[in-house]
């Protein structure tokens, strides 16, 4: 089941297993000791999306807003036992629905570039190492709405 909560609405009971999943994947499994708790999880404009059909979350991502208003997708992860079930794609689809036509950016581990390309993201820079893992910034530009606004004069 898909869940979501804003940073100022998420409960400790909801957040704790999400943080554990993130640490299990990024810090333990990928062996990347980094400051996982960055102070952004409880901000009102942070959105947590996760897939949890039972007692434990199986997949997670976080939506942030950069200072310029761009949506930033991060902390995308799936529990090892749940990989290959399409949960990451379900969460990305939910994130793209939340973002709508807005500009979006993410920092992808390079093995996942094709995955993010499926959602309209394109490379936006050079590859770089972060915590010993090769990454590439990807961007999905804002999209022009196809809806007709009768207040706009067309010539």
pLDDT tens for each residue of the chain, 155 residues long: 999 999 999 999 999 999 999 999 998 998 888 788 899 999 999 999 999 999 999 999 999 999 999 999 999 999 999 999 999 999 999 999 999 999 999 999 999 999 999 999 999 989 999 888 899 999 999 887 554 444 334 33
Whether the Cβ atoms of residue 136 and residue 110 lie closer than 8 Å to each other: yes
Could you tell me the CATH number of the domain that includes residue 118?
3.40.630.30
Q: What is the pLDDT of residue 151?
A: 37
- Residue at token pair 């930033």: 72
In a domain, 52, yes or no: yes
Total number of domains in the chain: 1
In a domain, 149, yes or no: no
In a domain, 146, yes or no: no
Q: Cα–Cα distance between 76 and 62 in angstroms, integer?
A: 7
Q: What is the pLDDT of residue 145?
A: 58
Q: Residue 95: give the domain boundaries.
A: 2-140
- Reduced to 3 states (helix: H, G, I; strand: E, B; else coil), residue 90 is helix
Q: What is the pLDDT of residue 137?
A: 96
């Amino acid at each position: 089941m898909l869940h979501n909560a804003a940073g100022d609405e998420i409960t400790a009971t909801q957040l704790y297993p999400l943080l554990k999943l993130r640490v299990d994947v990024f810090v333990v499994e990928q062996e990347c000791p980094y400051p996982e708790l960055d102070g952004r999880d409880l901000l009102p404009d942070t959105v947590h999306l996760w897939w949890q059909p039972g007692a434990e979350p199986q997949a997670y991502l976080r939506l942030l807003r950069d200072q310029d208003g761009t949506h930033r997708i991060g902390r995308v992860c799936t529990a090892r036992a749940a990989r290959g079930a399409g949960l990451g794609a379900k969460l990305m689809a939910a994130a793209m629905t939340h973002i709508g036509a807005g500009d979006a950016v993410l920092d992808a581990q390079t093995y996942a570039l094709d995955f993010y390309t499926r959602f309209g993201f394109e490379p936006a820079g050079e590859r770089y190492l972060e915590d010993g893992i090769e990454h590439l910034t990807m961007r999905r530009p804002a999209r022009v709405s196809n809806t007709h606004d009768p207040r706009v004069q067309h010539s």
